[in-house]
Structures are given as structure tokens and as C-alpha cells.
């Protein structure tokens, strides 16, 4: 399977795609303004104080900006420019900020729609300018695809090792390696990590469920009785939050329809690996990758939604893989709306189930941590490959030096976004050196 994109990824959208992006950005900003949902999982816990009037809109906006800016400019924009595919960090993190920033309800969708227009009309111009430079750092950034796609395959192995120890981790690692080699040999047109990830995630879930069932049998044998009822303040809070979200069910259904339609148009990828797969037209593999990510985020999104009264802009992110596979936008809209309706209505039940399956809940934490670890290494390694492609040793010196400087300064740019941001800054530096006749671009 080729992991190289065609040079010069285009960000040229049809009218329908432009209108969908603008409308969806307007809607997400409006929903963020009402504190009904945000995309940034780190912001959601802060919304309870805002909803209950214990903090101000400006203070909450400052939190949102502080937690999101690095991802927008360091990850969202570079990934979109290098793949030609939009992503949630570029679209939904800014609308989180703009929605919270807006002092009036009617202004929020205008600000959100304006951001959507900037993305669909302005990004392609920036893309064309960058590709015309003597040092084409955007094409060089496509070198990131191979490490991201292949290292991402290992996230179930890391999660199993962290939760169930070295023995099970070793078994999972050997099994995944064998499956990757077999896939490359027998099905060369298929994403090599697809089958390996499927088996790894199923293995993790199987181990977690098995551990929980054994524990419950042991508790029953020991005469431990599960307490039911009582005055649980968290249960009361969860119930109030679920009721608040159900009150706005039609709005959430509209949101689910919009996100699913955008995914169906194949100009949007829900994750780093997914963006490269969408760019290569491998929609089934992209759906598979984003489906596995769901298992790492359902417990986080469900518990933070029930605790704060604010949902996720993409819900449990199930609408991403479903959208990639839909044959037309009309069916995508209907299914997306239905999926969000089921998710919102099932929140309380999901919270109760997770309370009874602690190992499964822990598995989601380990999955998220493992996804972060694999992508962190893959993005850093891919960024250094991009630096080498655009500037050889000097490129590595500049990009690697900027990354290390960011670390030494206490990470003003979050680590995940620091390396892609360093590639863009490094590319600009190399172009300046070229114009000063101090650097000759690498050919080929």
C-alpha cells in the first residue's frame, strides 16, 4: 500500500461543500455560545461553573482559547494544508472560542459562519502560495503520512501493556506484527494496519470485560451486595445534566446531521491518520480507524457531559466513520441525526453501565493515552522526515531545534502540535535563507 500523497494536495471545494462547512461552523458556534456542546474535551468540565453562573463568559473564553490555540495553529492548519482534508481542530476548536466569545446569541452563528468562510475561501490561496515557494514545506509535510499511519496501528498494544502487563502486551504486539505482515502480503491495496487494529482493540475489550465479570462473580461469592439508591449528589447532577441535554434534542439532531454530511463529502477527516487515508481515497479504512477511536472516547465524553451538562460537538464521534461510508448526503443527514438522538437519550444509561464496568472504563483511559503516545512519536518522527525532505541536515537542525526550544521553554505550544508548527516555521526560515542566497533547496 502506498502511503505517499500526490504532490500539491488541493483545498478546492465545491459550492455544496463550501456551504456545508460555513453552515456547520455557524451551528457549532451557536451551540458553543449556549454552552450545550464544545469540541475540546478539556474545556467541557469548566462549563458547569459557567452554566450555573459561577464564572463569566470572558473567563470561560480565555480557558477555551488557552487550551485550543496550539492545536488550531500547530496541528489543525498544518494537517489541512498538507493533506488537503479538513479536520475538527481547524473547524470546531475556533468555533468553540468564537461561540463562547460572542456576547449575543445572534452574533455567535455569524462569527462561526465567518470562520467557515475563511477556511473554505482562504485556505486554498494559502496552500497555492506555499506550493509556489522555492522550499515547498507543505509537500514535504506529506512525509508525515507513513509514520502516522503505521505507528498509530500500535495503540491497542500500548493500551493492553499498560492495563494488563507485559505478557499480554507482548502477545498483542507479536499478533499485530504478524497481521500487518500478512495484510501487506495478501491484500496489498488494503491499509496494512486495519486488521491488526481490529484484533488489538477487540483483545483489549475482551480482557477488560473478562476481568470485570470475574470481579463481579468474586464479589457475589464473597457476599458483597451492590448498593442501589440512596442520596447520591453525583447521580442528581448527572440526571439534571442529561435532562438539560435532552431538552435540546432537535438541535443536537441537526448537529449530528451536519457533521455526518461533512464526513460523507470526503473533505473532512476526524483524526490525524484518518486525514491521510481520506486524502488517498481509502474511506473504508478511514472509517475503521475512527471507529476504533470511539472506544477510547465514549467514557470520557459521556462522563464529562453528564458532569457538566455540555456534550461533544462530534458526540461520541460515531458520525465520522458512518459518514465516510454513506452513499449520499441525504442518507448521511438522516443517519447522523438518528445517531445523535440515540447518543443523547442513552447518556444516563451509558453512565450507569460504565459505573458497573470499571475495567472497561479504565481501558478507555489507556486507549486515549496510547493514541496520544503513538501519535506524538509519529508526528515528531514524520516532522523530522519532512524537515529532511525540504532542507536536509539544515532542515532537521531548524525544525528539531524549534521543537527542543519549545520543550525547554515549558511547552508554550502543546507537544502534539509543536512539531508540525516547527515544520512550517522551519520552511519559512529556509525560504528566507534561499532569498538571502544562503541556502539551495533540495531537488526531488
pLDDT in tens, 250-299: 999 999 999 999 999 999 999 888 999 999 999 999 999 999 888 888 88
With respect to residue 183, please indicate whether it lies within any of the assigned structural domains. no
- Total count of domains within the chain: 1
Q: Is the pLDDT of residue 27 over 50?
A: yes
Per the structure, the complete domain to which residue 119 belongs is given by 15-149+255-435
Q: What percent of the chain is predicted at pLDDT more than 70?
A: 94
With respect to residue 238, please indicate whether it lies within any of the assigned structural domains. no
Q: Is the pLDDT of residue 337 over 90?
A: yes
- pLDDT per position as a tens digit, 31-87: 999 999 999 988 988 888 898 888 899 999 999 998 898 899 888 988 998 888 999
With respect to residue 404, please indicate whether it lies within any of the assigned structural domains. yes
Q: What pLDDT shows up at residue 235? A: 59
* Coil vs helix vs strand at 311: strand
With respect to residue 224, please indicate whether it lies within any of the assigned structural domains. no
Alpha-carbon torsion 377, 383, 387, 389, what sign?
positive
> How far, in Å, are 81, 95, 143, 254, 400 from residue 329 at the CA level?
25, 23, 32, 13, 43
With respect to residue 314, please indicate whether it lies within any of the assigned structural domains. yes
> Residue 268's beta-bridge partner residues?
86
Q: What is the pairing mode between strands 311-312 and 37-38?
A: parallel
With respect to residue 2, please indicate whether it lies within any of the assigned structural domains. no
With respect to residue 312, please indicate whether it lies within any of the assigned structural domains. yes
Please tell me which residue, 236 or 134, carries the higher pLDDT value. Answer: 134
> What does the alpha-carbon distance between residue 25 and residue 99 come to, in Å, rounded to a whole number?
10
Closest CA to 104 of 57, 38, 45, 37: 57
- pLDDT per position as a tens digit, 85-96: 999 999 999 999
Q: Is the pLDDT of residue 232 over 60?
A: no
With respect to residue 364, please indicate whether it lies within any of the assigned structural domains. yes
Amino acid at each position: 500500500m502506498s502511503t505517499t500523497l500526490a504532490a500539491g494536495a488541493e483545498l478546492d471545494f465545491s459550492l455544496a461543500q463550501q456551504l456545508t462547512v460555513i453552515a456547520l461552523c455557524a451551528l457549532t458556534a451557536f451551540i458553543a455560545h449556549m454552552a450545550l456542546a464544545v469540541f475540546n474535551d478539556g474545556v467541557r468540565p469548566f462549563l458547569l461553573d459557567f452554566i450555573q453562573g459561577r464564572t463569566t463568559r470572558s473567563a470561560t473564553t480565555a480557558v477555551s482559547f488557552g487550551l485550543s490555540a496550539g492545536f488550531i495553529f500547530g496541528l489543525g492548519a498544518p494537517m489541512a494544508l498538507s493533506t488537503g482534508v479538513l479536520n475538527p481542530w481547524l473547524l470546531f476548536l475556533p468555533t468553540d472560542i468564537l461561540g463562547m466569545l460572542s456576547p449575543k446569541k445572534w452574533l455567535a452563528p455569524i462569527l462561526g459562519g465567518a470562520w467557515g468562510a475563511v477556511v473554505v475561501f482562504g485556505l486554498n490561496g494559502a496552500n497555492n502560495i506555499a506550493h509556489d515557494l522555492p522550499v515547498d514545506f507543505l509537500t514535504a509535510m506529506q512525509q508525515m503520512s507513513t509514520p502516522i499511519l503505521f505507528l498509530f496501528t500500535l495503540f491497542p498494544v500500548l493500551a493492553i501493556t499498560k492495563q494488563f502487563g507485559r505478557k499480554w502486551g507482548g502477545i498483542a504486539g507479536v499478533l499485530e506484527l504478524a497481521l500487518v505482515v500478512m495484510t501487506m502480503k495478501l491484500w496489498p491495496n488494503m491499509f496494512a494496519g486495519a486488521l491488526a487494529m481490529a484484533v488489538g482493540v477487540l483483545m483489549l475489550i475482551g480482557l477488560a470485560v473478562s476481568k470485570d465479570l470475574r470481579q463481579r462473580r468474586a464479589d457475589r461469592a464473597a457476599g458483597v451486595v451492590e448498593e442501589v439508591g440512596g442520596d447520591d449528589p453525583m447521580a442528581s447532577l448527572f440526571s439534571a445534566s442529561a435532562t438539560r441535554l435532552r431538552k435540546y434534542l432537535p438541535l443536537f439532531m441537526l448537529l449530528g446531521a451536519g457533521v455526518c454530511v461533512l464526513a460523507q463529502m470526503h473533505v473532512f477527516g476526524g483524526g490525524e491518520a484518518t486525514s491521510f487515508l481520506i486524502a488517498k481515497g481509502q474511506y473504508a479504512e478511514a472509517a475503521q480507524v475512527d471507529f476504533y477511536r470511539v472506544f477510547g472516547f465514549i467514557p470520557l465524553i459521556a462522563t464529562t457531559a453528564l458532569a457538566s451538562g455540555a456534550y461533544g460537538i462530534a458526540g461520541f464521534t460515531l458520525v465520522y466513520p458512518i459518514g465516510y461510508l454513506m452513499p449520499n448526503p441525504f442518507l448521511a443527514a438522516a443517519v447522523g441525526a438518528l445517531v445523535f438522538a440515540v447518543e443523547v437519550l442513552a447518556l444516563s444509561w451509558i453512565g450507569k453501565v460504565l459505573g458497573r464496568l470499571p475495567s472497561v472504563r479504565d481501558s478507555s483511559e489507556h486507549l486515549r493515552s496510547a493514541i496520544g503516545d503513538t501519535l506524538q512519536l509519529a508526528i515528531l518522527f514524520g516532522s523530522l522526515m519532512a524537515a529532511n525532505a525540504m532542507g536536509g541536515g539544515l532542515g532537521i537542525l531548524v525544525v528539531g531545534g524549534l521543537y527542543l526550544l519549545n520543550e525547554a521553554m515549558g511547552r508554550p505550544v502543546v507537544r502534539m502540535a509543536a512539531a508540525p508548527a516547527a515544520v512550517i516555521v522551519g520552511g519559512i526560515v529556509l525560504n528566507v535563507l534561499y532569498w538571502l542566497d544562503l541556502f539551495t533547496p533540495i531537488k526531488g
